[in-house]
Amino acid sequence: MKIVIAGAGSVGRAIARELIGHGHSVTLMDKQPSKLRVASVAEADWILADACSPDALLEAGVGECDVMVAATGDDKANLVISLLSKSEFGVPRVVARVNNYANEWMFSATWGVDVPVSTPRLMTALVEEAVTTGKPVRIFAFNEARVDLHAAVLPPTSALVNQRIGDIKLPPTVVLSALLRDGKPIAPNPDGVIVDGDELLFLVPRENPQLLEEVSILVQPQKTKSEEDSQSLQGSGDIQPAEPGDKSS
Nearest to 111 by CA among 96, 100, 121: 96
At residue 139, the pLDDT reads 80
Tell whether 8 and 102 lie within a shared domain.
yes
* 3-class secondary structure, 4: strand
| Single pTM value for the model | 0.62
pLDDT at 236 over 60: no
Report whether 147 contacts 209 (CB < 8 A). Answer: no
How is residue 224 annotated by DSSP? Answer: P
At residue 112, the pLDDT reads 95
Report whether 15 contacts 40 (CB < 8 A). Answer: no
By residue range, what is the domain housing residue 63?
A: 2-117
Tell whether 204 and 155 lie within a shared domain.
yes
* 3-class secondary structure, 19: helix
> How many domains does one find in the chain?
2
Tell whether 66 and 153 lie within a shared domain.
no
Q: For the segment 33-50, what is each residue's pLDDT rounded down to a tens digit?
A: 988 899 999 999 999 999
pLDDT at 247 over 90: no
Task: Calculate what percentage of the chain has a pLDDT beyond 70.
Answer: 84
Task: Calculate what percentage of the chain has a pLDDT beyond 90.
Answer: 57
At residue 1, the pLDDT reads 92
Put residue 112 in one of left, alpha, beta given phi > 0 → left and psi -120 to 50 → alpha. left
Residues β-bridged to residue 46:
28
CATH code of 171's domain: 3.30.70.1450
pLDDT band at 78; cut points 50, 70, 90: very high
The answer to whether position 26 is within a domain reads: yes
* 3-class secondary structure, 203: strand
CA 147 to chain centre: 10
Tell whether 182 and 150 lie within a shared domain.
yes
Round to whole Å and give the CA distance between 81 and 51.
Answer: 6
